[in-house]
Structure 1
Amino acid sequence: MSGVLARYESLIAAGELQPDPAQRNAVRQLNDLQNQLESSQQKSGFLSSLFGDKTKPPRGIYMWGGVGRGKSMLMDLFIETLALKAKRRVHFHAFMLEVDQMIREQRSKEVQDAIGLVAAELAQGIRCLAFDEMVVTNTADAAIMARLFTALIVEHHVTIVTTSNRPPSDLYKDGLNRSLFLPFIDLVHAQLDVVELNGPTDYRLDRLGDLGTWHSPLGDEATAQVREAFFRLTDYKPEDADNVPSAELDLGGGRALHVPKSLKGVGVFSFKRLCGENRGAADYLSIAQHYHTIIVVGIPRMGPENRNEAIRFIKLIDALYENRVKLFATAATAPEELYMKGDGAFEFERTVSRLNEMQSAEYMALGHGETA
């Protein structure tokens, strides 16, 4: 046996993973899908040589659950052990950026069905398309997803496997013109098996170990700590640090925020970029909804001359706290000493209280977006 189930069992036997009933159930379903994909590959190889490839794809999998439940790890095992050359794995956000660019290029040619043509191009040579972290915050993306994925699955026979922190019905919840997105949710239920991977254990916290979240004073040691947190949270290899993906986060109204490091729901920002520029509560809400964890570097000690930065920082922390986003930071000093004098210093005391609570084990165990 060399499939995902065998690999998962071997990791448990070696003590590298803990037994987890919800994970095991998900692995069994992933293993069944592997068998179907590999079997269909063998059949289609013969039939397509005679009649062209008309093989209906196996049903895909939509695997959802809270942060730290091991979704990305299981996806890693699934792709690594899938004996299929025609496979592709990509972070969902990066995929949609690619799609948006391809659609723009097609529309510049004034074609009738740009989305259909893009789907056909994406499907070339692909039988299984796997995504990390399906999340929909962009109105333009929400509007095209039903057509795009119907073409991929129904017309081009691509099997979709994806992870998400939310069930399908909660995708793009309360989004603008959500009615345009609802056919995509129907498509997910019609074409993919929804696998819940919830449970009491947050393996992300296990990976963090005793690593703290607030690091001061500023300097190499503090930077090294948040850098380590990023690699533990994303399972990214430190030796490949120069190639960590970046992102352009849609803020609405044609505006975007460059995120220099963005991977698996973890975003890295500078204080200067977040609070030194003119931003409002809506910008911080977009960040809080998109990322389950953010790392903010370079938080300075502030005074009366930094009134605007302090007010923006208050709004940032409010958005993060209310959406249960995990915060790792490098700062000049402890929260209590960040902003002691200046307009809004009294209001900043609530921010100090929240910053301290956000370092607690109880807060860290909360799911992203979970109501206290």
Structure 2
Amino acid sequence: MATITHLSQRTPTVSVDDLLAGFHPSYRFGEVSFETYRPDPAWPTQAEAVTKLRNFASTIGKSKGGFLSNLFGKKKAEKSGMYLDGGFGVGKTHLLASLWHLAPGRKAFGTFVEYTNLVGALSFRQTVEVLSTYSLVCIDEFELDDPGDTVLMSRLMRELSDAGVKIAATSNTLPGALGEGRFAAVDFQREIKVLSEQFDVHRVDGVDFRHRGLPDAPTPLEDDAIEEYAMARYGEKTYAVDEFAELVAHISKVHPSRYRALLAETDVLVLHNVETITEQAVALRFVVLADRLYDKDVPIVASGKPFSELFTPEMMAGGYQKKYFRAVSRLTALAREAQTGEPGQ
């Protein structure tokens, strides 16, 4: 029998342990490995990345040393982190998740946004204290939209590195070029320089999804038919059924660190009357929700406007365009999966 819930009526309580338990590769990368990664022979840097990451994995979990060894010992020759640069779709997340699965000890895997949300939920100092006990911290898709967040993450990574934690990150911009042409603040530039010096940088070449454009959004269904359609297609599942406006208003009151818990019992999302989001702060919250929906592979059955019109043209062309592009692409994939049976990619 189908179960109907409403996300707009749920306000999950998440403990510190629950938050940290969510820092692992998503469902899509839950069982990947270096063996399942298929390097393209046309791009040798893909196979080279596997070799480098395997070698890096062998250094994880070694003795961190103490104050005296740090004071009188020899300066470490190796970098404290690995940084994979490359476009969309070249396998960086697969590689990063493979490293996480292989590495020994306590470890964390999350997106840049998830770590900034963790700091917001715990405080900077408590986040440092907790993650300093880990052997590896993986940061997927380092983002550069906000200089404050980037400075925060640079500080976090520097303190974790000083504590002996190994760090691996991915992005689409080399760390030495982070913020180039975007932010001129002296403090920001100084943090970026420190950040770039922490990593052994490896470029992963390949076909870049950014040149493929957004997938075609399916035509939204008639509003009075979407619930019946969803249940006929998916049967006995747990459905979150919400008015779009109510859901948007609700997530504005729920900390993004709780969005994973918000969706914990949701198999299918049914959205009535999707509208264009016009407020940037609300739009950025919805981007985070889209990421969590995609991580969990939740099909979306919706009415109203197609997800290609979810954000204003100004947003899609502005400083956060990478985030909005990703959200539209992911939501569209989940909607296509629900309406056509094509798996979200």
TM-score by length of 2: 0.55
1:182 alignment partner, one of 186, 189, 196: 189
Matched, 1:137 2:145: yes
Aligned to 1:62: 83
Written as runs of structure 1 = structure 2, the 5 A alignment for 1:203-282 is 213-218=217-222, 219=226, 274-275=275-276, 279-280=278-279
| Inter-CA distance 96–132: structure 2 relative to 1 (3 Å threshold) | same
2:161 matches 1:127 = no
Q: 1:158 aligns with which of 150, 161, 165?
A: 165
Name stretches of at least 5 consecutive residues in structure 1 with no aligned partner.
Answer: 1-6, 104-114, 228-238, 243-253, 303-311, 332-372
Using the alignment, how far apart are the partners of 1:34 and 1:176 within structure 2?
34
Task: Rate the CA distance shift 1:143–1:36 in 2: closer, same or farther, 3 A.
Answer: closer
CA offsets per residue over residues 31-87 of structure 1, 9 Å max, x none? Answer: 11112225xx2xx28x77xx78888775211112111111111112111122x1132
1:182 maps to a residue whose letter is Q
Question: Contact 1:285/1:319 (CA < 8 Å) preserved in 2?
Answer: no
Residue 320 (structure 1) aligns with:
316
Counterpart of 2:47 in structure 1 is: 24
Aligned position for 1:99: 119
Determine which of 26, 37, 45 is the counterpart of 2:60.
Answer: 37
Q: CA RMSD in A?
A: 5.2
Distance in structure 2 (CA, Å) of the matches to 1:122 and 1:220: 43
User: C-alpha separation between the residues in 2 aligned to 1:274 and 1:18?
Assistant: 41
Question: How far apart, in 2, do the equivalents of 1:241 and 1:194 lie?
Answer: 43
Q: State the Cα distance separating 1:173 from its structure 2 match.
A: 5.6
SS in 2 for 1:135: coil
Give me the whole-angstrom Cα distance separating, in 1, the residues matched to 2:180 and 2:301: 31
Q: Cα offset for 1:161?
A: 0.3
Where 2:138 maps in the other structure, the secondary structure is strand
Task: Please give the alpha-carbon distance, in whole angstroms, between the structure 2 residues aligned to 1:153 and 1:241.
Answer: 43
Aligned length: 258
Query: Structure 1 residue 148 and structure 2 residue 156: aligned?
Result: yes
How far apart are the structure 1 equivalents of 2:140 and 2:227?
31
Counterpart contact for 2:140–2:171, Cα < 8 Å: yes
For residue 184 of structure 1, what is the amino acid of its counterpart?
Answer: E
Query: Which amino acid in structure 2 is aligned with residue 132 of structure 1?
Result: D
Look up the match of 1:195: 202
| Aligned residue number for residue 99 of structure 2 | 78
The equivalent residue for 1:250 is none
C-alpha distance in structure 2 between counterparts of 1:62 and 1:31, whole Å: 14
- 8 Å CA contact 1:133–1:165 kept in 2: the answer is yes
The within-5 A match list for 1:301-312 is none
CA distance in 1, matches of 2:201, 2:56: 13
State the SS of the aligned residue for 2:169.
Answer: strand
Matches of 1:192 and 1:136 in 2, distance apart? 17
Deviation track 1:326-372 (CA, whole Å, cap 9, x = no partner) reads: 545459xxxxxxxxxxxxxxxxxxxxxxxxxxxxxxxxxxxxxxxxx
Structure 2: state its 5+ residue gaps.
Answer: 1-32, 241-251, 264-268, 337-345
Task: Report how far residue 30 of structure 1 moved.
Answer: 0.6
1:118 aligned onto 2:132: no
Counterpart of 2:304 in structure 1 is 300
> Tell me, what secondary structure is at the counterpart of 2:206?
coil
CA distance in 2, matches of 1:240, 1:31: 40
Any idea what SS the aligned residue of 1:181 has?
Answer: helix
- The alpha carbon displacement at 1:271 in A equals 7.9
Q: Structure 1 length as normaliser, TM-score? A: 0.52
What code does the residue aligned with 1:213 have? A
Partner Cα distance (1:69, 1:271) in 2 = 35
Alignment partners' CA distance in 2, 1:175 and 1:291: 26
Counterpart for residue 236 of structure 1: none
Give, as a single letter, the amino acid of the residue that structure 2 aligns with 1:192: F
Q: Rate the CA distance shift 1:89–1:313 in 2: closer, same or farther, 3 A.
A: closer
Letter in 2 for 1:23: Q
CA contact (8 A) 1:145 1:184 kept: no
SS state at 1:24 partner: helix
Q: Which has the higher contact order (CA 8 A, sep 6+)?
A: 2
Q: Structure 1 residues 122, 138: CA separation in 2 closer, same or farther (over 3 Å shift)?
A: farther
State how far apart, in whole Å, the 1-side matches of 2:113 and 2:199 are. 20
Q: Using a 3 Å threshold, how does the CA distance of structure 1 residues 204 and 89 change in structure 2: closer, same or farther? A: farther
Deviates more, 1:117-126 or 1:158-167: 117-126
Higher-Rg structure is: 1
**Deviation string, structure 1 residues 194-213 (Cα, Å, up to 9, x no partner):** 111232265998xx9xx963
